[in-house]
Structures are given as structure tokens and as C-alpha cells.
Structure 1
Amino acid sequence: MMLDTARRQRPWSSLLALLLLALPGAALADDDWPRGHYPLPEHGSLVGAPYTVAASHEQTLLDIAREHAVGYEEIRNANPEVSLWLPGEGTEVVIPAQHLLPDAPREGIVINIAELRLYYYPEVGDGETPRVETYPIGIGREGFDTPLGTTRTTMKLEDPAWYPPESVRQEAAARGEEAPAVVPPGPDNPLGRHAILLEIPGYLIHGTNRPDGIGMRASRGCIRMFPEDVEALFRSVPVDTPVNLIDQPFKAAWQDGTLYAQSFATPEVEERALSHRLEALATLEALKAEAQVAIDYAVLSEALDAAPGRIVGLSPGA
């Protein structure tokens, strides 16, 4: 299987909630749509709708995240002042369930590494509404980067066995342990119950026996999903589906006359902060030319420095 800390601790949650309510489409989606499934917009790239829920007495923030198809970093960034392990009964928790679709062809599977999120555009039949399914994912940690590029799904395995790679066996030996040659299906299997093999040798989209790691950079390069999410994808995705692995830390698109943007701060992005801003400016200048309107670059700068994942309107007065 293969920020500035002070800024992160600002009281963004109240501001975020207000901004979310001001975004187009802020009403809850039709209850008939499964979680993480959205009709594709005829124009623009915004899907879904943010909302808040009240924590129950024993729920952790991670419990709430999983219940609403949100990953670790997403739920933490949307609720920086809420306790991770004990939010407290009645505490309002923001669910960041609105997304800007990545700038990539809307076909097959698109995985945005910077966003820690997978998008699937299934083929639909006559009379069906085109849709996108989106799920939080875990990706490769430092030194085990998830590869970028285009590939395809090649095989689907239910209740797969896991054969620890040589690097795992070496690490175990260094700790004085012996890694098994094979881990059979069951609760100790890190692949979970469903695996989708990619054409890139050694890389899979699979479940996990440690769901708290979804939404984090913690794998050896494979794409991990919540067990219920990978099962849904497993049932839906045909073999030979195209997979596009991209790294877009900044996304922007027009919606109803307003330019919206979303930024994701990652360790790699922080190391090249100036380059990140230049890339964002280039993206915005190209979009700006489409409608010949002004862009509030002060808001852009704030968005790049603020809580990652926050969707903001960049046109004056948005």
C-alpha cells in the first residue's frame, strides 16, 4: 500500500457559519440524495450545501465527521474551537458539505490530493440526472506520496487478503517484530473489506480498519476510504473506469455572477507559499477575463491564509 498556528486558532467558526449561509444553494439538499451525492449544476461548479448539527452527549467530532461524510482535516478546519474528543451535548458543529468541483474533466474518478477528497462522475442513462459522488479520503504520508497522473481501475476485490510490502516487513524487523507474510480478511486487515485496484502497480482505493485516519496523510500511498464509502463506490464503479489523480490546492469558478474560490493549505503548499499565490492569481486572472469584473484581492489573500477549505466570494460585495 502502497500555517501559521496563530492564524489557525482564530475564531473562524462564527465567520465561517455566516459565510456559508450567504453562499448560493445554502439550503439543505433533497433528502432523497444519498450522503455525498449531488446533482451536477447546469452552470458553475458549486455543489452541496453547508449546514450545522448539534452534537450529542457522547459523540466525538470524528463521529460526527464520519456520519456526514467529512474527513479529519475538513471537520477540524471548519470547527477549530470545538473539542475533538468531547464537543459537548448541544454544541453546534459546522458540516462543510459544499464543494467546488475540481478543474478536471468530469468523468470517471477524480482524486484531488490537496483536498483529501475523491469525486466520482458516474455514467447515467436516459432520463437520469447527471450527478457527482464525493467522499473524504486518506492519502500517502511524507515519504510515501500518492502518485499523480491518469490511470484506470483494473480489478475489484471483496474481502481481500493483504500482503505486507517489503518496506513494512523491514520496519517491523527494525522494531524487533515479525510482519506476517499475509494478513487474511478480517478486522486486522488494513485494506478493509473492499479494494479497487489501479493500473499503477501496487496502488489501490480501499477501505480501512482504522477509519479515524480518513481525511489525513497517513497511508503508504494508497487511497483509503471509510468502509461504508468504499463499499458504495465498489458497487458503483465499473472496471476500466478512468482515474485522474491531481493536486489542486486552489480552486475557483464562477457561479451566478460571482467568483468563488477555495484554498487548501498543506505542508507542501506552505513551503511554497509564494508559488501558491502566483498560481492562484494566474487562475483568477484567466477566470476574470471571462466576465471582465473586479476581484477583491484582499479577500483572496485572507482566504489563502485562513482556515483551509473555506469557500469565499472574491467579487466585491460577494
Structure 2
Amino acid sequence: MVGSAAAGAEMANDIIGGNEYYQVKEGDTLLEIARLHDLGFIEIVSANPGVDPWIPDTGRTILLPSEHILPDAPRRGIVINRPELRLYFYGGGDGPVVTYPIGVGRQGRETPLGSTSVTAKRESPTWTPPPSIRAERPELPVTVPPGPENPLGMFAMNLGWQNYVIHGTNKPYGIGRRVSSGCIRLYPEDIERLFYTTEIGMPVMVVDQAVKLGWTGGELYMEIHPTVAEGDELEEKGWYMPTPVPGLKERIFTTAGKHAARIDWPAVARAEQAKRGIPIRITQ
């Protein structure tokens, strides 16, 4: 479990990937840059405060937040971190952890938290709108066949929770946002890779961890994302007022253990205020 075994800090490696940079070209948007680099909308906007997501300055250097602390959850199967808008896939053995940006349920249609499993896999799926969606959109047909109008895309994996599915999309610019009716969406190219590496019965856990802590190289890192509410505000207004993280100091003390005296509290305060969603070293 990430952050739960400070005594093993010297041996832990809780971080994957690495941040990169991109120079904006004329006509680029952050939405398009995110798709090109397998990132979601909210995460690229959060990582680049002050950058207009629709008209970024040509020539400006953009941070691509591709480094991630693993969520504090069992490292098996699929782990989905709702506020991070990201899925982690643990295929077992010595294989690498793979992570994908996702879209999740909007306000009032939140993707549920908890544990379930993959119960079925469907290639070229037919979509049957559930009663809750038909109540909102009675004009929908009873079923939608495979094809460009199908919101499930080309691949779908049913979960043990009724009417909840991990699937592709015919609207890729909804990835990294809270716009679905509760299902988990991936870019078309990502769901294809995930589909063929996932087995029926594989566990799925959905967590709510806007703050993640993890060790690598004997140093403690912290990654803070906007909360679900802050992410909604960021998308609606283009900005939000960060709120303090409840219990943050206690969590850091617990995770740091015997290394607590090494904590760089000014770095913690800066990361808490910025909430850029990138791992920051907080030991010194």
C-alpha cells in the first residue's frame, strides 16, 4: 500500500513515468495537446496554470504531467482514481504498471467508489440506454448498433455494478473530464490496449484520492489534484480557489514515520496551494 510502510521507504518505488515538455505550435489547444500525449483535459490545465487552454501562446512551453504516484490501493487489476481522472492497470507479474486518462460521471451521476470486477468483454458493442438515461433523453432509440454514433466506442467491459461499464468513446474530447452518466471512458486507442490485456474476473477498485504520497529513492513525494468539486469549477470558470486539504499534515507525519524531521513544510504548503497534480519531493 502506498504511504503505509514508512519503514520500507528506502526500498519503495511508488512513482511511474516522467514529466515531459511541449512547445506550443500555432493553432494548438491544450485539449489537442492532451490527446496527442495521452493526457486528460483537467490534468493538463491544472499542470499549466495561467495558460489559456483554447488559445495558448505560440512558442510557450507546456508541462506534460506524465509522472504519477501510484494510488494507495492494492496493486492488482484495475485501480481508478476518480479525482485524478486516471486509471491504473496492474497486469500481474513483473510487467509495468500502465496508466490511462479517463472520463468519469458528472455531478449527480458520479462514478461509484468501491470494489467490483470485470464481468464481461464486448467488442463492437451494441448500446442499450438504461432507464435512467432514457428518462433524461426519451428520444433515444431502444438500442444503438456498433458504429460512429455508438457512445461506447468499439470496446466495452461490463462491471459487477449494474449498468456501469469501462468503454471507449465516440467523443474523445470528454476524456479527462466529468461528463459521463457514471461509466468510465477511455480514448479509443487506450481502450483497445486495455481490452486485450484485461481478463474477465479481474478486480476493479475505484478510489477517491486527490492527495497521493509515495516513496522513491528514499525520498517522499506528494501529488495533489483538484478535488472533484474544484475540477468542476476549473472546467466551468477556467479557474478555482484551492481549498486546504483536511488532515494533510497528519497524513504526511504518518507516512514519513521516522523521516518526519526531514519534511520540507514550505514545499508542502506550495503544493497544497497550487494543486498542479504533479509529484513534488517533500523531504530534504
Cα distance between partner residues in 1 of 2:46 and 2:34: 12
Cα distance between partner residues in 1 of 2:203 and 2:176: 23
What is the root-mean-square deviation of aligned Cα atoms in Å?
2.2
The answer to whether 1:291 aligns with 2:256 is no
2:167 matched residue in structure 1 = 206
- Amino acid across the alignment from 2:69: L
Give the unaligned 5+ runs of structure 1.
1-41
- Select the residue among 194, 197, 203 that pairs with 2:155: 194
2:274 matched residue in structure 1 = 306
- Amino acid across the alignment from 1:79: N
Displacement of 1:72: 0.4
1:56 matched residue in structure 2 = 25
The answer to whether 1:130 aligns with 2:95 is yes
Displacement of 1:47: 1.1
TM (norm. structure 2) is 0.86
Task: Answer yes or no: is the 8 Å Cα contact 2:242–2:275 preserved in 1.
Answer: no
Task: Answer yes or no: is the 8 Å Cα contact 2:242–2:273 preserved in 1.
Answer: no
Helix, strand or coil: the match of 2:226?
A: coil
Task: Answer yes or no: is the 8 Å Cα contact 1:58–1:88 preserved in 2.
Answer: no
Helix, strand or coil: the match of 1:77?
A: helix
| Correspondences of 1:214-229 after superposition (within 5 Å) | 214-229=175-190
The answer to whether 1:171 aligns with 2:142 is no
Gap change, CA 1:305 and 1:289, over 3 Å in 2? same
Segment drifting more, 138-147 vs 290-299: 290-299
Displacement of 1:272: 11
Displacement of 1:267: 4.3
- Amino acid across the alignment from 1:293: A
Displacement of 1:271: 11
Cα distance between partner residues in 2 of 1:63 and 1:292: 41
Cα distance between partner residues in 1 of 2:174 and 2:213: 28
- Amino acid across the alignment from 2:161: I
Give the unaligned 5+ runs of structure 2.
1-10, 231-239
2:116 matched residue in structure 1 = 151
Helix, strand or coil: the match of 2:193?
A: helix
- Select the residue among 262, 274, 289 that pairs with 2:223: 262
Gap change, CA 1:72 and 1:55, over 3 Å in 2? same
Task: Answer yes or no: is the 8 Å Cα contact 2:48–2:276 preserved in 1.
Answer: no
1:67 matched residue in structure 2 = 36
Helix, strand or coil: the match of 1:156?
A: strand
Structure with higher RCO (Cα < 8 A, 6+ apart)? 2
Helix, strand or coil: the match of 1:85?
A: coil
How far does the alpha carbon of each residue in 1:33-83 deviate from its partner, in whole angstroms, 9 at most, with x for none? xxxxxxxxx732111111112233343221211111100001111223333
Displacement of 1:91: 3.1
Aligned residues: 266
Helix, strand or coil: the match of 1:131?
A: coil
The answer to whether 1:92 aligns with 2:61 is yes
Task: Answer yes or no: is the 8 Å Cα contact 1:110–1:246 preserved in 2.
Answer: yes
Cα distance between partner residues in 2 of 1:309 and 1:292: 23
How far does the alpha carbon of each residue in 1:232-287 deviate from its partner, in whole angstroms, 9 at most, with x for none? 0001111111111111111112222322101112244799955x331x22321112
Cα distance between partner residues in 1 of 2:260 and 2:276: 27
Task: Answer yes or no: is the 8 Å Cα contact 1:156–1:239 preserved in 2.
Answer: yes
TM (norm. structure 1) is 0.78
Cα distance between partner residues in 1 of 2:278 and 2:199: 33
The answer to whether 1:230 aligns with 2:194 is no
Task: Answer yes or no: is the 8 Å Cα contact 1:74–1:309 preserved in 2.
Answer: yes
Cα distance between partner residues in 2 of 1:136 and 1:115: 9
Cα distance between partner residues in 1 of 2:97 and 2:91: 7
- Amino acid across the alignment from 1:312: I
Task: Answer yes or no: is the 8 Å Cα contact 1:160–1:195 preserved in 2.
Answer: yes
2:7 matched residue in structure 1 = none
Displacement of 1:89: 4.5
Gap change, CA 1:204 and 1:267, over 3 Å in 2? closer
Task: Answer yes or no: is the 8 Å Cα contact 2:117–2:203 preserved in 1.
Answer: yes
Cα distance between partner residues in 2 of 1:305 and 1:292: 21
